[in-house]
């Protein structure tokens, strides 16, 4: 009985290993460290290959410590065909936006700001992963594997601070708009008076001028 259980367990283990070896991915990268501008949208690309006999749908996944930092993350899903060698690795891209990292000096709330960049450069590190994920029905129907497997590559982000002085152009624009509106209101109030009232004002003015002329004589 024990012998039968042992044989059965061995068969299950062998099948599991065969299944694990039937799908997977590998990753290639050119560099580990990147300079990225504060507030910029950045896209990085990794090469993914698949030497196994089953195709895999893959996606780039960021580590938890970078997920909390980066925003607007976009990762494409790609089908990596079976028996894709490292030399024919397929590019897989993911994008993210770097938020405001360094301190700003603002005159009004978040407006009219300057940035001196006196802080030390911020550096964030982690392991970016390529994972096998379920694809759409048409991709899975074409042979894509949904087996969960992942490989990782080191990632180091150096955030660039861009110093700048306070930009008053927006303030000048707002003041210009306010001045134009004020002039329009004054002209509107002046010329919207009834015609009879305007004639009376002209007549009164003419009478005053005639009095001045008589006084000079």
**Hey, how many other C-beta atoms are within 10 angstroms of the C-beta on 130?**
27
- Name 125's bridge partners: 156
For residues 163-180, average pLDDT: 71
Distances (CA, A) of 143 to 23, 100, 136, 151: 11, 43, 11, 21
Across 52-56, 141-145, 146-150, 165-169, least confident range: 141-145
Q: Does the global pTM surpass 0.75?
A: no
Instruction: Give the whole-angstrom CA distance, residue 39 versus residue 110.
Output: 15
Helices (H), the chain: 2-20, 64-67, 137-141, 169-191, 195-216
**Tell me: the pLDDT tens digits for 6-40?**
433 343 333 333 333 445 789 998 889 999 998 88
Give ∠ CA 35-39-41 in degrees, rounded to 5. Answer: 70
The answer to whether domain 24-160 has CATH 2.60.40.10 is: yes
Instruction: Give the whole-angstrom CA distance, residue 46 versus residue 60.
Output: 9
In angstroms, how far apart are the furthest CA atoms of the chain?
A: 142
Domain with CATH 2.60.40.10 in the chain: 24-160
**Tell me: the pLDDT tens digits for 151-164?**
889 999 999 988 86
């Amino acid at each position: 009985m024990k012998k039968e259980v042992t044989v059965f367990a061995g068969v299950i283990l062998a099948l599991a290993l065969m299944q694990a070896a039937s799908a997977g991915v590998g990753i290639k990268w050119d560099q580990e460290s990147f300079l990225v501008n504060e507030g910029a949208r950045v896209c990085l690309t990794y090469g993914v290959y698949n030497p196994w006999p089953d195709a895999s749908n893959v996606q780039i996944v960021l580590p938890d410590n970078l997920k909390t930092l980066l925003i607007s993350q976009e990762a494409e899903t790609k089908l990596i065909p079976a028996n894709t060698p490292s030399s024919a690795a397929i590019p897989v891209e993911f994008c993210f936006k770097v938020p405001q990292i360094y301190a700003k000096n603002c005159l009004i709330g978040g407006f009219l700001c300057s940035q001196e960049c006196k802080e030390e450069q911020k550096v964030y590190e982690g392991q970016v992963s390529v994972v096998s994920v379920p694809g759409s029905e048409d991709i899975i129907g074409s042979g894509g594997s949904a087996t969960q497997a992942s490989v990782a590559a080191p990632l180091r982000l150096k955030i660039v601070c861009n110093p700048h002085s306070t930009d008053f152009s927006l303030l000048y624009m707002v003041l210009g708009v306010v001045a134009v509106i004020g002039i329009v209101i004054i002209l509107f109030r002046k010329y919207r008076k009834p015609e009879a009232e305007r004639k009376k004002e002209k007549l009164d003015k003419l009478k005053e001028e005639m009095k001045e002329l008589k006084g000079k004589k």
